[in-house]
Amino acid sequence: MSMNNEKLADMLFPHVDGTPALYENMYPKRDLPDGAMVTRLGPSPTGFIHLGNIYGALTDERLAHRSGGIFYLRIEDTDSKRMVEGAEKVIIESLDFFGIHFDEGAGQDTDRGSYGPYHQSRRKDIYHCFAKELVKKGLAYPCFMTEEEIGAIRQKQEAEKKTPGIYGGYARCRDMSIADVEDALESGSPYVLRLRSKGSENIDPETGSSSVYFKTRDGIRGEISMPENIQDIVVLKADGMPTYHFAHVVDDHLMRTTHVIRGEEWLSSLPIHIELFNALGFDIPVYCHTAVLMKLDENGNKRKLSKRKDPELSLDYYKEKGYHPDALKEYMLTILNSDFEEWRTEHPELPIEDFDFSMDKMSTSGALFDLDKLEDVSKECLFRISSSDLAAFMARWISMYRPDHSDVSSDMDYLEAILDLGRHDNKPRKDLIYAEQILDFIKYFFDGYFRVEDGLPEEVSPQDAKEIIARYKETYDHSDDQSAWFDKIRTIAADMGYAAKPKDYKKNPDDFKGHVGHVSTVIRLAVTGRSQSPDVWAIQQIMGEERVMRRLGDYDPSL
Ligand code: GLU
């Protein structure tokens, strides 16, 4: 440590009184079992929380909790220009909605945990202490270059087809004398603090990167080889706030993160981060770069999900449609771990927490997100949720997104019975997908929304339909079991010239007007308004005799 560096450090950071040793003691190594992973989610409150966040968060959460570790939330709010009011609340609420729970970190009202503060904006003193340390070691320096100067350099570099950026000979302020720095500071010139990169010697003209490569292990991708960083990247911005590069290195070290799970878009900055870890003398956590979420476009080509083109990238899409959080989580697991589906087939009853989530099973080359597949997963998932939980979920969704339909959830026993319909059959129904679809699917149970939507089958004249309903009402006994009930319909059919069995009609279509199925469709239309529905007998049992009679009485087949 040269005298000059010490002096420079004191000049730049006269107010820093913490020391690295102080912070190391304040945030000791965590006392966790061997192999326990400490992971974090580090969202920036920029107002858009998306599927990618959940994808990453679920990876973090599963890895930490499967290994007996800790999963925490850190708010990365150092870029005041990109901050959006209220965005942090949305992040916390959304993660909570999707059932992703943190052990510590930023919270709605207060932070929890002893490794905080968990907002980067409140950690300035800590960053300054470690920035000062870099200056002391001669590994960082103040840079007074103006925007214009940097812009001119970039233009020159472009024209000469040189690697863009501030590095090597372009880093004009690297070797400023102490006296010049002092003058510049005194005159109040704004400055940033830059890393003095050690990697700027040999640049490969082909790649524009250092020709020196280093090897590292990515938790998901395995061994990778990357060129050393050459850039004197900014460590502290002119407002004294750290860049992401610097802040996350200091934080992940002091918060004792063992695995940094983040999107693939950060992979190219890894050499910078490794240089920073080394410069600060910290152990490097295991970096794990997840695959980008892709979709198949109309032409069958894989492309990245885009904020502009794909509403399904936004989490609001799922909340508004009323996807159950478990379904989305379950589907995320199918794309996160290639063996999840097989496990699920073998263990339909187990909670997802029992699945042995593993980084080895993660895709590296773009994870395909498919809404149709999500629907299939959702059908299975909702089938596993009890009818009473499903009714409670519907009630919550209705109160948030369809308050005008509050009558649907006013009688919870009725709603639960409706949702339970067909679940215990030999071949159980699995046609509930998401709240909006379910609401539409069950609306006919409620008088306020009931209307006759479909017309008569062509085999049945309006006259006959009237007679079918009249006879049906006459013989109706609400306490009939299903077979007694259907026998009566067969009798009506036979009496009126319809085959009592569909196969008789198929054999000799000229002998009959139609068959018992056409006759029961008329009853179905009167009771549900639809020509397709679950079992009519079961529907009537749920609706109750009075409502059934009223509907039969109101039905006018000639309309
Ligand atoms: N704040 C960064 C982002 O929102 C987090 C990246 C990371 O997880 O390290 O992209």
pLDDT of amino acid 48: 79
109 pLDDT band (50/70/90 cuts)?
confident
Pocket test for ligand 1, best of 44, 58, 95 (most atoms within 8 A of CB): 44
Residue type, 489: I
Distance 66 CA to ligand 1 centre (A): 23
DSSP, res 353: G
CB-count exposure of residue 15 (10 Å: 0-12, 13-18, 19+): exposed
Q: Is the pLDDT of residue 97 over 90?
A: no
Q: What is the pLDDT of residues 404-413, one digit of tens each?
A: 999 999 999 9
Strands 286-290 and 70-73: unpaired
Count of CB atoms situated within 10 Å of the CB of 534:
18
Q: Is the pLDDT of residue 306 over 80?
A: yes
> Is the distance from CB of 162 to CB of 205 less than 8 angstroms?
no
Euclidean distance between CA atoms 245 and 264, whole angstroms: 15
> Is the distance from CB of 380 to CB of 349 less than 8 angstroms?
no
State whether the beta carbon of 243 lies less than 6 angstroms from ligand 1.
no
State whether the beta carbon of 262 lies less than 6 angstroms from ligand 1.
yes
Euclidean distance between CA atoms 532 and 60, whole angstroms: 44
Mean pLDDT, residues 471-489: 97
pLDDT of amino acid 420: 97
Distance 88 CA to ligand 1 centre (A): 14
Sign of the four-CA dihedral 345, 349, 352, 357: negative
pLDDT of amino acid 480: 97
Residue type, 539: I
> Is the distance from CB of 280 to CB of 130 less than 8 angstroms?
yes
Spell out the alpha helix ranges (H) of 313-461: 315-321, 325-336, 340-346, 371-384, 387-401, 412-420, 435-442
Mean pLDDT, residues 499-507: 96
Ligand 1 atom with the shortest distance to the CA of 46? 4
Considering 198, 307, 506, 507, which one is annotated as catalytic?
307
Mean pLDDT, residues 83-92: 88
Distance 315 CA to ligand 1 centre (A): 18
Ligand 1 atom with the shortest distance to the CA of 252? 9
Ligand 1 atom with the shortest distance to the CA of 40? 8
Number of H helices, E strands in the chain: 22, 13
N-to-C CA span, the chain: 94
132 a catalytic residue: no
Pocket test for ligand 1, best of 118, 249, 262 (most atoms within 8 A of CB): 262
Mean pLDDT of the chain: 95
Q: Is the pLDDT of residue 24 over 90?
A: yes
Residue type, 89: K
Contacts of 550 (CB under 8 A, 6+ apart): none
Count of CB atoms situated within 10 Å of the CB of 434:
21
> Is the distance from CB of 261 to CB of 53 less than 8 angstroms?
no
Q: What is the pLDDT of residues 413-464, one digit of tens each?
A: 999 999 999 999 999 999 999 999 999 999 999 999 999 999 999 999 999 9
Residue 203 tokens read as 């640049």
Bridge partners, 216 (sequence order): 224
Residue in the structure block whose two tokens are 């970096």? 287
Q: What angle do CA 497, 503, 505 make, to 5 degrees?
A: 30
Q: Is the pLDDT of residue 1 over 70?
A: no
Strands 38-41 and 70-73: parallel
Measured CA to CA in angstroms, residue 397 lies from 100, 320, 322, 323, 435 at distances of: 19, 8, 6, 9, 7
Mean pLDDT, residues 234-246: 97
> Is the distance from CB of 104 to CB of 115 less than 8 angstroms?
yes
pLDDT of amino acid 366: 81
Q: Which of 27-41, 309-323, 510-524 has the lowest mean pLDDT?
A: 309-323
State whether the beta carbon of 124 lies less than 6 angstroms from ligand 1.
no
Count of CB atoms situated within 10 Å of the CB of 155:
11
> Is the distance from CB of 253 to CB of 27 less than 8 angstroms?
no
Q: What is the pLDDT of residues 359-406, one digit of tens each?
A: 999 988 888 999 999 999 999 999 999 999 999 999 999 999 999 999
Distance 42 CA to ligand 1 centre (A): 5
Q: Residue whose CA is closest, atom 3 of ligand 1?
A: 43
Q: Is the pLDDT of residue 260 over 70?
A: yes
Mean pLDDT, residues 217-241: 97
State whether the beta carbon of 74 lies less than 6 angstroms from ligand 1.
no
Q: What is the pLDDT of residues 116-173, one digit of tens each?
A: 999 999 999 999 999 999 999 999 999 999 999 999 999 999 999 999 999 999 999 9
Residue in the structure block whose two tokens are 């017309």? 455
Count of CB atoms situated within 10 Å of the CB of 30:
15
State whether the beta carbon of 248 lies less than 6 angstroms from ligand 1.
yes
Whether residue 14 is preceded by a cis peptide bond, meaning omega within 30 degrees of 0, is no
Euclidean distance between CA atoms 389 and 230, whole angstroms: 56
Q: What angle do CA 107, 109, 111 make, to 5 degrees?
A: 45
Mean pLDDT, residues 28-57: 92
